[in-house]
Amino acid sequence: MAYDDGLWQRLTSVLERQPDLRAKRMFGCIGYLHHGHLAVGVHEADLLVRVGAVDYAAALAAAHVRPFAPLAGKPMTGWVLVSPEGLLHDAELLAWAQRALAVTAALPPK
C-alpha cells in the first residue's frame, strides 16, 4: 500500500529531535515506534495517530479526523486518521505527533 512520501518527510522533520523513535512499516503504513509501540505514521494520504482509549472520543470530535478502520471497516479504538486538510501547518502535525508520543510514553516498553 502506498503512503504519502511528502507527509512522511514532514513527519520525520518535525520529529527529528525526538529520542527513542524507530521507523517501521506496519499495518499498511509507515510509522514511528516509540519504546517499541507504534505511535504515529502515514497511512495513504493521512496521518495515523495513536490517541489511546481515554482520548479517543475527543480526538474524533476534532476537525478532519475519522476512525482508523483497517480490518473490514471495523474501527480500532484508540487510533484515528487525520486528513491532509487538518495538517496544513507543521505545528498541527507536531501537535498530533506529540499527542501520540504522550500515549506511548505511558505504556510499558516492549
pTM of this structure: 0.94
Cell of 64: 478532519
Identify the pLDDT of residue 28: 75
DSSP 17: T
pLDDT in tens, 16-26: 989 899 999 98
CB 55 within 8 A of CB 62: no
Fold for domain 5-105? Yope Regulator; Chain: A, (3.30.1460)
30: how many CB neighbours lie within 10 A of its CB? 21
Secondary structure of residue 11 in the 3-state scheme: helix
Q: How far is CA 37 from CA 20, 53, 108, 109, in A?
A: 11, 15, 9, 8
pLDDT in tens, 69-95: 987 889 999 999 999 999 999 999 999
